[in-house]
Amino acid sequence: MAATLAGAPARPRKLLASRKTRVGVLYALPVVVYLLVLFVYPIFSTLLLSLKNADGSFTLHWYADALTGVNLSVLFTTLRISAETALLSLVFGFVLAQAISRLKPLWAGLAMLVVVVPHFVSALVRTYGWIIMLGDKGLVNETLAAMSIPGTPFQLLYNELGVVIGTTSMMLPYTVLLLYGVMRGVDLRLLAAASSMGAGRVTIFRRVYLPLVAPGLASAGLLSFILSLGYYITPALMGGPNQTMIATLINQQVTKENQWNGAAAQGVILLVLTLTGLLLVKLVSSLGASRKKRSGS
């Protein structure tokens, strides 16, 4: 026992002295430096900037300002629009992913290609496309007018409806990709077994299928919510003054008001919200993996 304890401290030194370990550290060094310079340093710099006053003293004034008045209203607007976007992305993504998962592999691959390829087009170009389609003389209003629907043209731009439509279209590919992977992994024998025991389609969907894909639904919804929190282009172009989100507010504080401290505080708050969402995604994924492992055993 004593010999084992005495030799324990020497083992890490021996490991570090090996050629394979030195080569590994050498390969990892550029990545570590890259992360420190381009990620860790900017984050800590932003955090310090949000805690400094004009004279260089430390203060929490900028955080108090970010959580009161108009800035607090912007935060609630961001959370509300992000939640609406996540919900709609889940609804449409679930229907689309389930339809694709029922196709043969060749047709499913082509359908996923149709879903994913538009995502490679610039978000700015896609946003302008939505502006053209949803305008008073756009395709949507012209089609509704041709159908003699009263109330046309509808106001589909520069309000919350326009922002949610735009952001949902941007988040939909992520949702479909996540849900499609989860749905393709569902063991169809479980559904067949439930059907053979007399369960109806609604019961099979509610008691068997939905619990199996629930972790994927939670992860996809949280991912859409997180990505929507910091989205800038679509809300800025398709929204109005009442739809100002945190990213737009940060841009205004930096470019128009030259208020870097307040913008830094807003950025830290946005970072905390994002990290919280990522932790929830990790937790949901872990719970889903443990549940799948229990069901498999």
Q: What is the pLDDT of residues 116-159, one digit of tens each?
A: 888 888 889 999 999 999 988 889 999 988 888 888 888 899 99
Distance CA 267, CA 250 (A): 7
Q: What is the pLDDT of residue 3?
A: 46
Residue that wins the pLDDT comparison between 56 and 291: 56
Q: Summarize the confidence of residues 279-294 as an average pLDDT.
A: 73
| 43-100 per-position pLDDT tens digit | 899 999 999 887 778 889 899 999 998 999 999 999 999 999 999 999 999 999 999 9
Residue 38 gets which letter from DSSP?
I
Contact 213, 182 (CB under 8 A): yes
Q: Which residue has the tokens 């969402």?
A: 277
Whether omega for the bond prior to residue 153 falls within 30 degrees of 0, making it cis, is yes
- Which of 205, 188, 172 has its CA nearest to residue 102? 188
Which residues make beta-bridge pairs with 52? 58
Given a contact cutoff of 8 angstroms between Cβ atoms, the answer to whether 203 and 194 are in contact is yes
Alpha-carbon distances, residue 132 vs 89, 137, 240, 242, 267 (angstroms):
22, 8, 16, 21, 32
Strand spans (E) along 74-178: none
- Residue 87 has a pLDDT of 95
Question: What are the residues facing 58 on neighbouring strands?
Answer: 52
Q: What is the DSSP string of 169-203?
A: HHHHHHHHHHHHHHHHTS-HHHHHHHHHTT--HHH
Q: Per CATH, is 65-285 categorized as 1.10.3720.10?
A: yes
- Packing angle, helices 260-296 and 41-50, rounded to 10: 130
Phi first, then psi: give them for residue 263, nearest 5 degrees. Answer: -65, -35
Q: Does the structure show a pLDDT above 90 at 163? A: yes
293 has pLDDT over 50:
yes
Mean pLDDT of 255-284: 87
> How many angstroms separate the CA atoms of 271 and 39, rounded?
12
Are residues 93 and 220 in contact, defined by beta-carbon separation less than 8 angstroms?
Answer: yes
In angstroms, the CA 98 to CA 205 distance is: 12
290 is written with which tokens?
Answer: 């443990």
Question: pLDDT tens digits for 208-228?
Answer: 888 888 888 988 998 899 999
d(CA 174, CA 97): 11
Residue 53 identity: N
Rounded to whole angstroms, how far apart are CA atoms 76 and 73? 5
Residue at 254: amino acid letter? V
- 114 close to 172: Cβ distance less than 8 angstroms: no
pTM value surpassing 0.85:
no
